[in-house]
Structure 1
Amino acid sequence: MRVLISTYGTRGDVQPFIALAKALKAHGHAVALCTPTGFRATVERHGVPYAHMDNAVLELTEAVLRAPTRAEQRRLFKGFGAIVRAGLEDEWRAAQELEPDVLVYHSKALGSHHIAEKLGAAELLAMPLPLTPTREFPVPMLPAFRLGGWLNALSYKLIPLANAVWAGATNDFRVKSLGLAPLSRFADPLKKVDGSAVPALYGFSEQLLPRPADWPPHVQVTGCWFLDEADSWTPPAELRAFLEAGPPPVYVGFGSMGGAHADARAATVLKAVALTGERAVVATGWGGLKADALPRHVFRLDAAPHDWLFPRMSAVVHHGGAGSTMAGLRAGKPTVICPFLGDQPFWGHVVLRAGVGPRPVPQKSLTAERLAEAIRAAHSPSVRALAEAMGERIRAEDGAARAVQLIEQEHSRWSHRRHAAT
């Protein structure tokens, strides 16, 4: 089986797919991962064959996330069209080189769905968050979590509307590069041209978000695709000394989010930590926190593998990306989510509903007092017990192996249909 995996975005959009590619390779399959060149070294360090995608996609994503104003974000966003179109060509070149029988892709990799049609190959949407309609919760990009059954299901109509933004680029790609007929601007990306559904694999844990009862059989939740890096990472001596000098600290980091207002945000975090009396590790990430002069009870860290760092923390505070959320809970740690945008408020509500963290504290209303209150709530015995129990259950899963099994089954069905047609 030859599998082309395509994804782009921030680190959290890429790491799970490296783990999935490693699992496929370990099972004897030929695999390549098409993602921006900024991640090439990481991909190849894990022994996964790399397929080129221009780094402009990643660079513009970073620029948009760091933009100080919404107006600046909108200005930068206007450049996405040409970059998306170039990325479609990168996906196509990768497919021509590998000649895959299966394409596995994040929804941001807009070319793979159309390339699968061109090649007559099997395809699977692969995501760390759910996009299949259900009455149980709304589409994760909506800030509201409780709309009611029929409104929850209706909210998923936003997906074709969002894809309509790129319809010009994808139709140009279909016609000029693939020789396919154009699609309706509002074509459902979860459907093939024959009307059948695209199979979906969701790489999150049912321990946190149970699979909805109204999902069809072609939609499966596999468990998380964790990329373990602890064994190959050497922590700075200063970090080890800090951890050994006192009780487990609180982790605070906002990953790739919020380069704007980083100084003010760091001041808020430091004041909140002081109010709780906790020790803390503050991760600067892409610039979401900018902290220079720190008190002795706070350690500044550029970055560290979550699977090494989080088990050594007492609680984790972050933006609420799917990867960070699952990594914190895998470590059995109470989770405080301070969401910026996208699916982050969704995971904040899911964590609250599961009892493994307090109510999320949105960035727009983040104050030292509110964050301190949330950190105190996260340390309550009931929340800690639930988080520890969930961590044990998540650690018992092997999401990547389950995903490989389902990809193999889809390939087998595709092969059978192909042979039957001939």
Structure 2
Amino acid sequence: MNATASTPAPAETATHRKKSDRMRVLLVAYGSRGDIEPMLALAARLQESGAEVRMCAPPDFAGPAEDAGVPLTPIGRPVREMVRGAVTGTAPMPAQGLPERAARLVATTYEAVATAARGCDVMVATGLFPAAAGARSVAEELGIPYVFVACFPTYLPSPHHAPLARPGHPLPPQASDNRALWDLDAENLNALFGTGLNAHRATVGLPPVDDFRDYVLTSRPWLAADPALGPWKEPADLDVVQTGAWLRPGGRPLPAGLQAFLDAGTPPVYVGFGSIPVRDAQGVARAAVEAVRAQGHRVLLSGGWAELAPVDDQDDCFRVGEADHHTLFPRVAAVVHHGGAGTTTTAALAGTPQVVVPQMADQPYWAARVAELGIGAAHDGADPTRETLSAALATALDPRTRARAKAVAGLVRTDGATAAAQLLLGTAG
């Protein structure tokens, strides 16, 4: 079913749940910042309700976790270079080595989670499948409920969309039967990750898993995506609980320099790729600056993991580091970004037109949704030029697109993290 905040459902459990006066929740997220931020949003809502929250995540995110008051147990080494290699090709990851790397991630995550999960009542996991598999093994051993959450619909099997292509296992050309493709995906995941998971489970005295994907997802995964932006379609094979997107509370003040830049002229166009590197940062920055200027706007560059920087010293371009998107996006003319779930949702909530330049994973999905909804434009491909980006911006900056973006903003919910916290705490339904 497609449950929302008004029709909550409890977390799936294969075992008993311990009783305690104060619920202790462990959040496990292995991926980029787009995987971490929703968990911190959930953490904030859980803490408001009196729960104790811990997190396991890559060490890159120790700072954001500390700022949120969430103790972090790091999983392995920093993830930034892995993401950079996957996007830029600077650190090739051949498919033939993927099972070995996945097996190491299972073991590394298991070790971190086994330490952090002591005394916890429930576990919520997201991000890369091998890490989630290692986490669920710990939950299984401890006999505590485990929930897997996806931040975009196409991460979950459905007859309405095809799976993501797996490294070394491309989808058959011209294939149109989505259920057959998802059956093939299950086989691919068993081949890529199942053997390593079962080898590790044998070392800790757990029985083998027959279907890797089913083990990670469970029959009742959660979907932390806004129903207007990323709807879950029925009928479907999984009993998906769609809570709405998990957004951190906004309203934090902007840095003084950024505030002064915004106040000094007309709304700029924001360009940023979050925690996603790009293949040619200098070329992307130049294309973006020139395209935005060609549309008659000032430019606001966000450095991020792409390390975007101004291409000259003209005062119509400003570079910003960290800034609260909830505060910033209502003040810009358009948002040019990579298409992460959080950035897409926050721009939509602000009623600000978007141009999505997708790089990987869920980003093509969000680019397509932005175009389908009429709230912006989907750039064709990951490498923008002045001409291609200027054309996309012309669509986004059209008054009709802005009007549509304002209309859709009224449909975007902000209670997803609250709904998820209520489900975990058992205070709803």
- Shared fold (TM-score greater than 0.5)? yes
| Equivalent-residue separation in structure 2 for 1:163 and 1:57 (angstroms) | 26
CA drift at 1:212: 0.6
Q: Does 1:201 align with 2:222?
A: yes
What are the equivalent positions in structure 2 for 1:367-406 lying under 5 Å apart? 367-394=385-412, 396-406=413-423
Give per-residue Cα distances to partners, 1:208-251, cap 9 Å, x unaligned.
122212136831111111113532x441x332221112111111
Matched residue of 2:411: which SS?
A: helix
| Equivalent-residue separation in structure 2 for 1:269 and 1:412 (angstroms) | 46
| Equivalent-residue separation in structure 2 for 1:32 and 1:343 (angstroms) | 26
CA drift at 1:324: 1.1
Q: Does 1:301 align with 2:320?
A: yes
Do the aligned residues in 1 keep the contact of 2:228 with 2:411 (CA within 8 Å)? yes
What are the equivalent positions in structure 2 for 1:328-343 lying under 5 Å apart? 328-343=347-362
Report the number of matched residues.
397
Q: TM-score, normalised by structure 2?
A: 0.83
| Equivalent-residue separation in structure 2 for 1:343 and 1:125 (angstroms) | 17
> Structure 1 stretch 300-309 or stretch 68-77: which is displaced more?
68-77
Q: Does 1:255 align with 2:274?
A: yes
CA drift at 1:148: 11
CA drift at 1:379: 1.4
What are the equivalent positions in structure 2 for 1:6-405 lying under 5 Å apart? 6-48=28-70, 50-65=71-86, 67-69=88-90, 71=92, 81-95=103-117, 97=118, 99-108=119-128, 109-110=131-132, 111-130=134-153, 131-139=155-163, 151-157=177-183, 158=185, 161-162=188-189, 164-177=191-204, 179-184=205-210, 187-191=211-215, 197-215=218-236, 218-231=239-252, 233-235=253-255, 237-364=256-383, 366-394=384-412, 396-405=413-422
> Structure 1 stretch 248-257 or stretch 106-115: which is displaced more?
106-115
Read off the aligned partner of 2:122 and give its amino acid letter.
Answer: V
Distance 1:355 1:20, change over 3 A: same
Distance 1:399 1:273, change over 3 A: same
Read off the aligned partner of 2:182 and give its amino acid letter.
Answer: Y
CA drift at 1:126: 1.1
| Equivalent-residue separation in structure 1 for 2:186 and 2:332 (angstroms) | 37
Give per-residue Cα distances to partners, 1:176-233, cap 9 Å, x unaligned.
13x101224xx142348xxx943211111011122212136831111111113532x4
Which gives a bigger RCO, structure 1 or 2 (Cα 8 Å, sep 6+)?
Answer: 2
CA drift at 1:159: 5.2
| Equivalent-residue separation in structure 2 for 1:159 and 1:264 (angstroms) | 39
CA drift at 1:331: 1.0
Where does residue 417 of structure 1 map in the other structure? none
Matched residue of 1:393: which SS?
A: coil
Higher helix share: 1
Q: Mind listing any 5+ residue stretches in structure 1 that lack a counterpart?
A: 414-422
Distance 1:223 1:42, change over 3 A: same
CA drift at 1:328: 0.9
Distance 1:218 1:68, change over 3 A: closer
CA drift at 1:19: 0.9
| Equivalent-residue separation in structure 2 for 1:148 and 1:212 (angstroms) | 23
Distance 1:303 1:29, change over 3 A: closer
Distance 1:310 1:141, change over 3 A: farther
CA drift at 1:337: 0.5
Distance 1:299 1:65, change over 3 A: farther
Do the aligned residues in 2 keep the contact of 1:64 with 1:76 (CA within 8 Å)? no
| Equivalent-residue separation in structure 2 for 1:181 and 1:73 (angstroms) | 30
Q: Mind listing any 5+ residue stretches in structure 2 that lack a counterpart?
A: 1-22
Distance 1:75 1:190, change over 3 A: closer
> Structure 1 stretch 57-66 or stretch 271-280: which is displaced more?
57-66
Read off the aligned partner of 1:152 and give its amino acid letter.
Answer: N
Q: TM-score, normalised by structure 1?
A: 0.84
Where does residue 420 of structure 1 map in the other structure? none
Read off the aligned partner of 1:353 and give its amino acid letter.
Answer: E
Do the aligned residues in 2 keep the contact of 1:5 with 1:33 (CA within 8 Å)? yes
Give per-residue Cα distances to partners, 1:278-320, cap 9 Å, x unaligned.
1120111113524342422221122322112111111111011
Read off the aligned partner of 2:282 and give its amino acid letter.
Answer: D
Do the aligned residues in 1 keep the contact of 2:31 with 2:127 (CA within 8 Å)? no
| Equivalent-residue separation in structure 1 for 2:257 and 2:44 (angstroms) | 32
Matched residue of 2:177: which SS?
A: helix
CA drift at 1:261: 1.4
Read off the aligned partner of 1:321 and give its amino acid letter.
Answer: G
Give per-residue Cα distances to partners, 1:50-92, cap 9 Å, x unaligned.
2412350424424425645474787997756535422221112
